[in-house]
Structure 1
Amino acid sequence: MTTPPFSAPTTAELAVVSTQLGRTARGVVGIAARCVCGNPTVVATTPRLPDGTPFPTFYYLTHPAATAAMSTLEATQVMPELAALLADDEEIAGAYLAAHEAYLADRAQFGDVTEIAGISAGGMPTRVKCLHALAGHALAAGPGVNPIGDVALERSSWSPERCRCEEPGAALRDVEASSA
């Protein structure tokens, strides 16, 4: 089994995530994806929170602009369309099942929790339930791993290639990734 490509979060990173969430971050074991400016976008979270609560969402989308974009996309009623894509395309369904299995394998490295055994996130492997979770997985795993998460990111108004981080007391930063 390979270890996901992230290290333990720093105190500063946990402070950023807590600000993004508007509450204290819980059970964070790593920053799984970052904005082009370096701020956390997706955290990896233990499958059992410190208070004992089972938590199936290993890859948790924290970036406020990304979460808002996924909420907006869900409000446009795209879910039935994505569910139909999953039902009608065997290749996408197979890739979605593989994404589910990869998600479970990544999470298992941080503990097995019987209450959530076999449960990943976002409705995988047979439904499209939460674009936030699917986009978080797609960002953490990289393009081509979670086909529904990839589609959600492509269709959203947010891009991981353009910073939309807001710093307290400062104007909205607008930084694009260099194309070098």
Structure 2
Amino acid sequence: MTALDAADRDLLIRELGRPPRGVVGVAYRCDHGVPAVVRTAPRLEDGTPFPTTYYLCCSVLAAAVSRMESEGLMREMTERLEHDEDLARAYRAAHEAYLADRLELGDLGTRVSAGGMPDRVKCLHVLVAHSLGVGRGVNPLGDEAVDRLDEYFRGAKSCARLA
């Protein structure tokens, strides 16, 4: 994670269409140099709970992930979780890792993470942000979604790469 500087803040305002909230650092930069995933505090400046620790900010990536969601990938992944014990176990471990990362920044007093973890897939944006922010091998469904990004860039190459 790197610190958020003034240039990053300007890029985030452009990407989000508003000033970023609760950002504690940049967790991943896309190939365009944009802070594509930021790590956020569990509470915003006004005290509002914000459980989304890894937040996807790159508009190009977010649009591709939205296309994935619109084609039913979340439903398909949730169904697989119901029948694949190994996948479900790995996804629960991703949930625990997410909670641990958030706890480093502050305690919300809840075991709710984000994206539907640990039992379903509710938001692919969160899962992709988690995988990009922490790297391959932590969130199996986030990794899978990142691997499929090229399919959703309408002929252009994805700006996200996991090592």
> So what's the TM-score if we normalise by structure 1?
0.81
Task: Provide the rounded CA distance (Å) in 1 between the counterparts of 2:31 and 2:146.
Answer: 15
Residue 123 of structure 2 is aligned to residue 148 of structure 1: no
Aligned to 1:69: 64
Aligned to 2:75: 80
Aligned to 2:4: 9
Aligned to 1:47: 42
Q: Which runs of 4+ in 1 moved over 3 A?
A: 161-164
Q: Is the 8 A contact 2:36 2:57 kept in 1?
A: yes
Aligned to 1:102: 97
Match of 2:125 among 84, 107, 132: 132
Letter of the 2:41 partner, please give it.
Answer: T
Task: Provide the rounded CA distance (Å) in 2 between the counterparts of 1:140 and 1:55.
Answer: 17
Quote how far apart the aligned CAs of 1:36 are: 2.2
Task: Provide the rounded CA distance (Å) in 2 between the counterparts of 1:163 and 1:72.
Answer: 15
Give % identity.
51
* Greater Cα radius of gyration, structure 1 or 2: 1
Match of 1:121 among 114, 121, 145: 114
Quote how far apart the aligned CAs of 1:22 are: 0.3
Letter of the 2:63 partner, please give it.
Answer: A
Question: Aligned to 2:146, what secondary structure does the other structure show?
Answer: helix
- CA pair 128-162 structure 1, distance change in 2 beyond 3 A: closer
Task: Provide the rounded CA distance (Å) in 2 between the counterparts of 1:98 and 1:162.
Answer: 27
Question: Aligned to 1:109, what secondary structure does the other structure show?
Answer: helix
> So what's the TM-score if we normalise by structure 2?
0.89
Task: Provide the rounded CA distance (Å) in 2 between the counterparts of 1:27 and 1:20.
Answer: 16
Work out the number of aligned pairs and report it.
Answer: 156
Question: Aligned to 2:49, what secondary structure does the other structure show?
Answer: coil
Quote how far apart the aligned CAs of 1:162 are: 4.4
Task: Provide the rounded CA distance (Å) in 1 between the counterparts of 2:103 and 2:28.
Answer: 19
Q: Residues 107-142 of structure 1: CA distance to partner in whole angstroms, max 9, x if unpaired?
A: 11111122xx11111000011100000110011111
Larger helix percent: 2
Letter of the 1:149 partner, please give it.
Answer: G
